[in-house]
């Protein structure tokens, strides 16, 4: 009976994952090797059916018992609805395709799925390819701040902290906040000015904090990464890999402060002048997949759409890193891989 219930739950989750889809990418896909499985490296199958369907739903006709003017109005609305449907094919979600081993196919450039408890790699695709990490590296920034502690200590914003575009919380020079409040805003909404403020408060400058980031990354085994700033904005010499980010994510996942923040769907932030603002979590999977409990999004033109996500079910904890995906594909691929990891 339990097995039948689990299978039913899996089907429901996969249906939910399908609803996230929109258009994918037909990137060149290299070798794929689920860790711990013997045999030669498998080649990923080309992703051909991740693009959206353009099928239109039926439009109900006007009721014959209504007055002619009502029927005419309904008919006009129907024509507009049909025209709008033709212009927005992305409204119909794409289905998920699987390899012969039952692993969800993705169009992302780099992917890794790991067991958060044991560190075992369950699946990987170009996991050691160096790529721009975008804001996913804020997870390392947050980890360093959380590990230092004293989160109730005040932080006073300086002018240099505000020099960060494009995503900002617009904290003002001279304003004072508790570290924990800035840390929560960083992980939920991902503002770049908050990242700079926390980094400068921690190490004296953004440059000095980058050295702290690189040292902590090496301690975690992330030896194929190099960080230049705390927020992930493109800079020469800044890069990481899906595998390195999964190592950072595992340690962050084990940190109770970070775990308590990344699971929040929204957060009310109070500015120094008393004004409040509700911050919505940038991680859409958190709101669409019941088992998802974090972690961090990222996007730049150079990096593409990126997401480190986590999920837990029945004592099993999974972390998925997806780098270089499409806008819609990053949510669909992350959800599919999390579901696969939880039920495999």
Q: Which of 267, 271, 268, 277 is nearest to 174 (CA)?
A: 271
Residue 50 lies in a domain: no
Residue 49: its pLDDT value, please? 33
Q: Is 75 a catalytic residue?
A: no
**From residue 301, how far is each of 150, 296, 304 by CA, in Å?**
36, 17, 5
Residue 160: its pLDDT value, please? 96
DSSP secondary structure code for residue 98 in this structure: B
Residues 241-288 have pLDDT tens digits of 999 999 999 999 999 999 999 999 999 999 999 999 999 999 999 999
Q: Is 138 a catalytic residue?
A: yes
Residue 9: its pLDDT value, please? 54
Residue 12: its pLDDT value, please? 54
User: Residue 64: phi, psi to the nearest 5?
Assistant: -70, -15
DSSP secondary structure code for residue 118 in this structure: T
DSSP assignment of 200-262 equals: HHHHSSHHHHHHHHHHHHHHTT-TT-B-SSSS----TT-BB-HHHHHHHHHHHHT-HHHHHHH
Residue 195 lies in a domain: yes
Q: What is the mean pLDDT of each run of 10 residues along the chain (344 residues)?
A: 52 52 39 37 36 30 37 44 39 70 95 98 98 98 98 98 91 98 98 98 98 98 98 96 98 98 98 98 96 97 97 97 97 97 92
> Can you tell me whether residue 57 is helix, strand or coil?
coil
User: Residue 254: phi, psi to the nearest 5?
Assistant: -80, -10
Q: What is the pTM of this model?
A: 0.75
142: Cα separation from own chain's centroid: 16
Residue 54 lies in a domain: no
Catalytic residue among 51, 110, 190, 335: 190
Residue 51 lies in a domain: no
Residue 231's domain comprises 2-45+92-343
Length of the chain: 344
Query: 134: alpha, beta or left, given left = phi > 0 and alpha = psi -120 to 50?
Result: left
Q: Which of 193, 141, 192 is nearest to 162 (CA)?
A: 193
Residue 10: its pLDDT value, please? 55
DSSP secondary structure code for residue 299 in this structure: E
Q: Is 135 a catalytic residue?
A: yes
**How many Cα atoms sit within 13 Å of 117 on the Cβ side?**
9
Between CA 5 and CA 1 the distance in angstroms is 6
CA dihedral 144, 262, 308, 252 (to 10 degrees): 30
Between CA 285 and CA 293 the distance in angstroms is 9
Domain count, the chain: 1
Residue 243 lies in a domain: yes
Which residues fall within 8 angstroms of residue 170, CB to CB, at 6 or more apart? 162, 193
Residue 322 lies in a domain: yes
Residue 59 lies in a domain: no
Q: Domain with 153 in it: what CATH number?
A: 3.40.710.10
Catalytic residue among 105, 125, 138, 296: 138
Residue 72 lies in a domain: no
**From residue 294, how far is each of 20, 140, 262, 297, 337 by CA, in Å?**
17, 14, 5, 9, 14
User: Residue 206: phi, psi to the nearest 5?
Assistant: -65, -40
Catalytic residue among 51, 110, 135, 339: 135
Between CA 122 and CA 96 the distance in angstroms is 19
Take residue 95 and report the two structure tokens written for it: 């289905």
């Amino acid at each position: 009976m339990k097995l039948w219930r689990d299978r039913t739950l899996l089907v429901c989750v996969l249906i939910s994952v399908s609803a996230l889809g929109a258009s994918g990418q037909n990137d060149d896909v290299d070798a794929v090797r689920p860790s711990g499985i013997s045999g030669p490296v498998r080649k990923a199958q080309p992703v051909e059916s991740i693009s959206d369907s353009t099928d239109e739903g039926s439009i109900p006709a006007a009721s014959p018992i209504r007055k002619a003017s009502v029927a005419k109005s309904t008919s006009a609305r129907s024509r507009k609805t049909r025209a709008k449907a033709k212009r927005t094919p992305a409204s119909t979600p794409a289905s998920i395709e699987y390899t012969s081993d039952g692993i969800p196919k993705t169009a992302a450039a780099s992917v890794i799925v790991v067991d958060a408890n044991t560190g075992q790699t369950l699946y990987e695709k170009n996991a050691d390819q160096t790529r721009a990490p975008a804001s996913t590296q804020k997870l390392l920034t947050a980890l360093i701040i959380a590990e230092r502690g004293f989160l109730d200590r005040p932080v006073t914003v300086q002018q240099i902290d505000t020099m960060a575009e494009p995503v900002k919380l617009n904290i003002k020079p001279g304003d004072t906040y508790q570290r924990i409040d800035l840390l929560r805003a960083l992980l939920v909404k991902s503002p770049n000015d908050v990242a700079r403020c926390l980094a400068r408060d921690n190490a004296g400058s953004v440059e000095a904090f980058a050295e702290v980031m690189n040292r902590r990354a090496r301690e975690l085994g992330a030896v194929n990464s190099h960080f230049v700033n705390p927020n992930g904005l493109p800079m020469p010499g800044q890069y990481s890999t899906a595998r390195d980010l999964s190592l950072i994510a595992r340690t962050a996942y084990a940190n109770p402060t970070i775990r308590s923040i990344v699971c929040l769907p929204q957060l009310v932030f109070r500015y120094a002048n008393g004004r409040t603002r509700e911050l919505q979590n940038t991680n859409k999977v958190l709101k669409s997949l019941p088992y998802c409990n974090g972690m961090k999004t990222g996007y730049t033109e150079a990096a593409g759409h990126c997401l480190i996500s986590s999920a837990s079910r029945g004592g099993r904890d999974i972390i998925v890193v997806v780098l270089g995906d499409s806008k819609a594909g990053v949510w669909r691929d992350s959800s599919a891989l999390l579901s696969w990891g939880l039920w495999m």
